């Protein structure tokens, strides 16, 4: 029983981390019909920028918003200067993001070197809650809380605000949205920046958990993709459910079938695709 | 006058002959690099069949290279098979296992199209990577499998020049095979599917089957490349099967020119050159690679192969503009 509780807890905390990546990926796809292959790079760069902020100021709390904002600006620039000028051409845009992923990889290596680094969690979070002889690290509880807050906020913005309605309209039918006067170009710019922001946020928070190292970008990316595919592209709820499923599969897979754990990781994706190609909550 | 296809065909033949003749006098390092270019180009052509001709962007082609490479390594180390003339049997087996893997993965991947296809192939590729990385008893896990000697059939392939000729031979065979394939009615239908799936469906073509077969053929070619891959460096490890290899294969096709077959080798040559030579000269070579790649997508959607046509077009466009202005000024002068 203890085993199941601990593994489920770990799985959920990993899943919430994936959600930070998957939600942006999913929204970007919904609005622009592209998958951003540089999304893992945002995650990694977020962690690295946070490290620099921590080295300079010593403040972990300051590192979170600074890193996320820096990467959001980076994403904004990428969307405005390179993706937007291509017009609506998803394949070329996707290929372009591959090029950026390579550039970011090299830049990270040049700036921060090839060592594995950890973002040290602040002392306030560096302890464990004990319940019935089980230890729950506070940091993981914080991660889950953070992701829950992000999910709630995203849901509120998407469902209750004008901006959210514009985004939803663009996801559902971009042409019609333009027709009724929604500036879809601005919507996609905002969504892209938001996606980068969330990915970088994940990178900072995940930095104390999985570390920051070269190659992290392409390692985390397929997981986020799988989460988005399971949940359904363009759906926030899907991204959340998909991330949690993937986080749980990852933990239980590694614990129960270590030799074929990646099979168990991608198996639900394959099964869901076979049954419902658009994912659990995808429309189209 | 020669037709342009014929001229291109002769040019490619001449180029291949020149490469084959020049190779013996090249430095050992250059020979190894040339062999590498041939092998990656084979893998890239399998991507080109999917991306360039069928319109399916595959980002998991390393999976098929991986199964071929691991099969070769396991046969060589555990069963001592494939180190003599049976190497050629291994080539066939590698292609077969690649095709079988693709036949399985294709059941899932072909359901999707466009960007979905890209993500699904990516995830399927990661499954193979995960197995290679985790299944220690079979794959040696993180360390991979070392294959200490290259095969010997009549001559030893352990010399770089002999191995280069083997790689070049495989490249030429695959190039010729794919050339015939894409010009066959089957290949024409693939292009039709790329251009308009709906139209082809209306015409009564079985879209799924066409895509599925193309996917299997591409997988087989990937497996074939994997056999050579193992013997090129003498080791196969999970790194070879990782996403980066798939990204590379896609990248060189986009660089060289999708839908051209020969562009794959061109793109590969450029990338290998940048990576191996430029990296010894300047530390920031990957920025050059990334920059070239991004500029290609922005300004040369047809890739490097589209460059001559683009230049010609540019030339004729400016000539036409001059002619127009000349005529306008002439007519202006003739007016009273």
Q: Could you list the residue range(s) of the whole structural domain that residue B325 is in?
A: 306-336
Residue stretches of chain A with pLDDT short of 50: none
Residues B319 and B297 in one domain: no
Residues B193 and B327 in one domain: no
Query: Rounded to a whole number, what is the distance in Å from the CA of A99 to chain B's nearest CA?
Result: 5
The pLDDT, as a whole number, for residue B317 is 63
Start-end of H helices in chain A: 2-32, 39-57, 60-78, 90-112, 138-160, 162-172, 174-179, 184-206, 216-231, 236-256, 261-275
Please check the confidence at residue B1 and state whether its pLDDT lies above 60: no
Number of domains in chain B: 2
Residue numbers in B near A96 (CB within 8 A): 294, 297-298
The pLDDT, as a whole number, for residue B328 is 55
The CATH number for B271's domain is: 1.10.3470
Residue B19 lies in a domain: no
The pLDDT, as a whole number, for residue B101 is 94
Show the CA angle centred on residue A251, arms to residues A249 and A252, nearest 5°.
Answer: 65
pLDDT digits (tens, 9 = 90+) for B129-159: 888 888 878 888 888 888 888 887 777 787 8
Residue B329 — pLDDT band, cuts 50, 70, 90? low
Nearest to A206 by CA among A154, A247, A234, A264: A247
Query: How many CB atoms within 10 Å of residue A209?
Result: 16
Residues B321 and B277 in one domain: no
Residue B335 — pLDDT band, cuts 50, 70, 90? very low
Residues B178 and B111 in one domain: yes
Residue A275 · residue A226 · CB < 8 Å: no
Between residues A284 and B206, which one has the greater pLDDT?
B206
B134 vs A262: CA distance, rounded Å: 8
CB neighbour class for B175 (10 Å; exposed up to 12, middle 13-18, buried from 19): buried
A261 touches chain B (CB under 8 A): yes
Residue numbers in A near B254 (CB within 8 A): 95
The pLDDT, as a whole number, for residue B174 is 94
Residues B63 and B204 in one domain: yes
Average pLDDT, integer, range B232-251: 87
Average pLDDT, integer, range B267-284: 82
B291 and A103 within 8 Å at the Cβ level: the answer is yes
Q: Give the residue from chain B lying closest to A37, CA to CA.
A: B119
Residue A234 · residue B101 · CB < 8 Å: no
Residues B172 and B52 in one domain: yes
Residues B222 and B140 in one domain: yes
Residue B96 — pLDDT band, cuts 50, 70, 90? very high
Count of alpha carbons within 13 angstroms of residue A152, beta-carbon side:
6
Residue B297 lies in a domain: yes
Please check the confidence at residue B334 and state whether its pLDDT lies above 50: no
Residues B151 and B213 in one domain: yes
A228 vs A223: CA distance, rounded Å: 9
A229 touches chain B (CB under 8 A): yes
Residues of chain B with pLDDT > 70, as a percent, come to: 93
Where do the structural domains in chain A lie, given as residue ranges? 19-119+128-213
Residues B218 and B318 in one domain: no
Residue B3 lies in a domain: no
The pLDDT, as a whole number, for residue B10 is 84
Residues B324 and B199 in one domain: no
Query: Rounded to a whole number, what is the distance in Å from the CA of B8 to chain A's nearest CA?
Result: 27
A96 and B286 within 8 Å at the Cβ level: the answer is no
| 3-class state of residue A129 by DSSP | strand
A224 touches chain B (CB under 8 A): no
B246 vs A77: CA distance, rounded Å: 27
Q: Which of B127, B134, B251 sits opposite A258 (nearest CB)?
A: B134
pLDDT digits (tens, 9 = 90+) for B279-323: 777 777 778 888 888 888 888 888 888 888 778 877 666 666 665
**CA-to-CA separations, A177 to A28, A32, B250, B296, in angstroms, rounded:** 16, 13, 34, 32
B115 and A261 within 8 Å at the Cβ level: the answer is no
pLDDT digits (tens, 9 = 90+) for B9-67: 888 888 888 888 887 777 888 888 888 999 999 999 999 999 989 988 888 899 999 99
Residue numbers in B near A229 (CB within 8 A): 116, 119-120, 123
Question: Which residues are CB-neighbours of B163 under 8 A, at least 6 positions away?
Answer: B35, B150, B157, B231, B232
pLDDT, mean over chain B: 85
Residues B185 and B66 in one domain: yes
Stated as kind and residue range, the H or E segment containing B281 is helix B279-281
Query: Rounded to a whole number, what is the distance in Å from the CA of B296 to chain A's nearest CA?
Result: 9
CB pairs under 8 A between A and B: 119
Residue B192 lies in a domain: yes
Residues B106 and B199 in one domain: yes
pTM: 0.83
Average pLDDT, integer, range B6-10: 81
The pLDDT, as a whole number, for residue A122 is 81
Q: Which of B127, B136, B286 sits opposite A259 (nearest CB)?
A: B136
The pLDDT, as a whole number, for residue B185 is 93
The pLDDT, as a whole number, for residue A44 is 94
Residues on chain B bordering chain A, Cβ-to-Cβ distance under 8 angstroms: 57, 107-108, 111-112, 114-116, 118-120, 122-124, 126-127, 129-131, 133-137, 242-244, 247, 250-251, 254, 283-284, 286-287, 289-291, 293-294, 297-298, 301
The pLDDT, as a whole number, for residue B322 is 61
Nearest to A48 by CA among A103, A110, A138, A100: A110
The pLDDT, as a whole number, for residue B333 is 46
Best of A222, A230, A234, A277 to mutate (most B CBs within 10 Å, chain B): A222
């Amino acid at each position: 029983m203890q085993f199941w509780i601990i593994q489920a807890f770990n799985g959920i905390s990993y899943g919430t981390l994936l959600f930070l990546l998957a939600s942006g990926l999913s929204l970007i796809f919904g609005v622009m019909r592209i998958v951003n292959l540089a999304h893992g790079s945002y995650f990694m760069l977020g962690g690295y920028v946070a490290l620099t902020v921590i080295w300079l100021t010593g403040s972990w709390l300051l590192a979170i918003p600074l890193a996320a904002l820096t990467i959001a600006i980076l994403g904004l620039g990428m969307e405005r200067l390179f993706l937007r000028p291509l017009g609506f051409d998803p394949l070329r845009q996707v290929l372009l993001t591959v090029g950026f992923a390579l550039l970011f990889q090299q830049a990270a290596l040049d700036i921060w070197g090839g060592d594995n680094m950890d973002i040290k969690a602040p002392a306030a979070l560096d302890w464990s809650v004990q319940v019935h002889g089980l230890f729950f690290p506070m940091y993981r509880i914080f991660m889950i809380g953070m992701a829950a807050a992000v999910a709630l906020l995203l849901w509120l913005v998407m469902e209750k605000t004008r901006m959210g309605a514009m985004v939803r309209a663009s996801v559902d039918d971009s042409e019609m949205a333009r027709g009724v006067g929604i500036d879809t170009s601005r919507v996609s710019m905002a969504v892209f920046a938001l996606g980068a922001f969330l990915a970088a946020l994940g990178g900072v928070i995940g930095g104390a958990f999985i570390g920051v190292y070269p190659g992290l970008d392409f390692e985390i990316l397929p997981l986020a993709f799988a989460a988005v595919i399971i949940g359904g592209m363009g759906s926030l709820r899907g991204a959340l459910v998909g991330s949690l499923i993937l986080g749980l599969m990852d933990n239980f897979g590694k614990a129960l079938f270590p030799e074929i754990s990646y099979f168990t990781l991608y198996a639900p994706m394959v099964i869901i695709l076979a049954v419902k190609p658009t994912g659990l909550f995808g429309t189209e | 006058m020669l037709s342009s296809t014929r001229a291109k065909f002769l040019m490619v033949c001449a180029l291949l002959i020149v490469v084959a003749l020049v190779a013996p006098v090249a430095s050992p390092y250059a020979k190894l690099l040339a062999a590498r270019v041939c092998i990656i180009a084979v893998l890239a052509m399998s991507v080109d069949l999917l991306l360039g001709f069928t319109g399916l962007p595959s980002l998991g082609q390393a999976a098929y290279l991986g199964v071929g490479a691991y099969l070769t390594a396991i046969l060589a180390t555990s069963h001592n098979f494939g180190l003599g003339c049976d190497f050629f049997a291994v080539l066939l087996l590698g292609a077969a296992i690649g095709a079988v893997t693709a036949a399985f993965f294709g059941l899932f991947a072909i359901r999707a199209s466009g960007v979905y296809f890209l993500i699904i192939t990516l995830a399927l590729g990661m499954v193979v990577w995960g197995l290679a990385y985790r299944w220690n008893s079979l794959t040696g896990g993180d360390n991979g499998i070392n294959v200490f000697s290259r095969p010997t059939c009549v001559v030893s392939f352990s010399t770089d020049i002999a191995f280069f000729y083997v790689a070049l031979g495989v490249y030429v065979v695959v190039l010729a095979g794919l050339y015939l394939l894409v010009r066959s009615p089957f290949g024409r239908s693939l292009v039709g599917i790329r251009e308009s799936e709906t139209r082809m469906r209306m015409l009564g073509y079985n879209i799924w089957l066409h895509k599925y077969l193309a996917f299997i053929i591409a997988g087989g070619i990937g497996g074939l490349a994997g056999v050579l891959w193992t013997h090129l460096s003498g080791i196969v490890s999970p790194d070879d099967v990782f996403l980066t290899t798939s990204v590379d294969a896609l990248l060189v096709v986009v660089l060289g020119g999708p839908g051209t077959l020969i562009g794959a080798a061109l793109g590969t040559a450029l990338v290998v050159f940048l990576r191996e030579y430029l990296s010894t000269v300047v530390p920031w070579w990957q920025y050059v690679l990334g920059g070239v790649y991004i500029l290609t997508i922005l300004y040369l959607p047809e890739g490097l192969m589209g460059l001559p046509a683009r230049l010609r077009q540019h030339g004729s466009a400016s000539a036409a503009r001059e002619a127009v202005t000349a005529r306008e000024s002439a007519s202006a002068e003739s007016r009273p």
